Amino acid sequence: MKKIYVILIILIFGVSFWYYHRQAGSIVKIDMPPAHDFLDFSTSTVGTDTASNTATSVVPLVNLDFPAPEPSQTEVKDVLTEKKSINLDVPFTSQAPTANWAEPFQNACEEASVLMVDYYFSNKDFPSQPETENILVNLVQWQIENWGGHNNLPVAKVAEFARLNFSLRAEVVSDLTADKIRNYLDKGLPVIVPADGQELDNPNFRNGGPEYHMLVIKGYVDDKFITDDPGTRKGHDFVYTENNLMSSIHDWDTIQNKASGPSVGLILRRK
């Protein structure tokens, strides 16, 4: 009998050791670059319009009725030869600020992502967790009253939501690549991306991750991307590898009702 207990203890210890190292091994570690807030980029008119210099903004953003300009390959290469890292000081909130993961917070990643970028442009911190939760509830309620429900939103719909609720201008970036993301980040612009959450390598997700997810890319170090991922309370400065993140980015397909759409991103900017 004593032998059985010893074997059971060894098995439990072995499984626990394996599980801990498996989980820890999937968390990417980097030396985090210093964070730059929006004011560090404001002299170049990134993120706002001014009466005197609207046309010379670093990254011109337009309404979705018109095709949006994208960085040229020359611009991308020039940026990458100059910089190997950047980290934008995007304030973080989980989509469930008080750790209440019941609806509507279970599916509030779109609202939380837009809210974080809006607070970045406003250069302000989030209020208390209950207050932040109330803000998210109001944003969800707006969708219910105006769009008939709280549903998974493709990026184009998130852009419309941001314009209507935050007076933000929006650009949907098609054919999103890692180089395009870095180019926007270097100019002080966070990138919101949709993803198949079950493809994302994040051990903090429950049940294998959400079938559809949205998060904010706020920086990079070489081939690693720094994010504010609202899908977990540990999502601030969460790091994904370029390969894993880029392969996970898929827009919501309203026909197939799953995250199987193209690789796109969303750039927001204050009016």
> For 219-230, what is each residue's pLDDT tens digit?
999 999 999 999
Cβ neighbours, 10 Å, residue 91 = 18
Identify the band that residue 149 occupies on the pLDDT scale cut at 50, 70 and 90: very high
- 3 contact partners, CB below 8 Å, separation of at least 6: none
22-36, 85-99, 157-171: the lowest-pLDDT one: 22-36
Look up tokens 């720094």; give the residue.
226
Q: Name the 3-class secondary structure at 154.
A: coil
Q: Is the pLDDT of residue 6 over 50?
A: no
Closest CA to 188 of 75, 31, 39: 39
Contact present, 240 and 200 (Cβ < 8 Å): yes
* Other beta carbons within 10 Å of 113: 30
**Residue 193 β-bridge partners:** 215
Burial class (CB in 10 A: 0-12, 13-18, 19+), 212: buried
How far apart are the C-alpha atoms of 164 and 168, rounded to whole Å?
A: 8
Residue 64 has pLDDT above 80, yes or no: no
By mean pLDDT, which of 27-31, 75-79, 155-159, 211-215 is the weakest?
75-79
State residue 46's pLDDT score. Answer: 53
pLDDT-derived band at 271 (thresholds 50, 70, 90) equals confident
Stretch 166-171: mean pLDDT: 93
Contact 155, 266 (CB under 8 A): yes
**Model pLDDT, residue 47:** 55
- Per the CB < 8 A criterion, the answer to whether 231 and 105 are in contact is no
DSSP string, 59-126: S----TTSPPP---HHHHHHHHHH-SEEEB------SSTTS--STTGGG-HHHHHHHHHHHHHHT---
Distances (CA, A) of 169 to 6, 125, 154, 164, 228: 64, 21, 17, 9, 21
Tell me the average pLDDT of the chain.
83
Of 48-57, 80-89, 106-115, the range with the highest mean pLDDT is 106-115
Q: Please give the distance of CA 158 from its chain centroid, rounded to a whole number.
A: 13
pTM listed for this prediction: 0.79
Q: What six digits make up the tokens of 37?
A: 């807030």
Q: Which residues pair with 232 in a beta bridge?
A: none
Q: Which letter, b or e, does each residue of 34-54 get, where b requires 16 or more Cβ atoms within 10 Å of its Cβ?
A: eebebeebeeebbbeeeeeee
> How sure is the predictor about 50, in pLDDT bands with cuts at 50, 70 and 90?
very low
**Percentage, residues of the chain above pLDDT 90:** 70
| 109-122 and 129-147 helices, crossing angle to 10° | 120
SS3 250: coil
- Please, which pLDDT band fits residue 29 given cuts at 50, 70 and 90? confident
Q: Does residue 76 carry a pLDDT above 50?
A: no
Would the pLDDT of 242 be above 60? Answer: yes
Cβ(116)–Cβ(124) below 8 Å: no
- pLDDT at position 270 is 86
Delineate the domains of the chain, giving CATH numbers in brackets: 32-270 (3.90.70.10)
The reported pLDDT for the residue numbered 18 is: 34
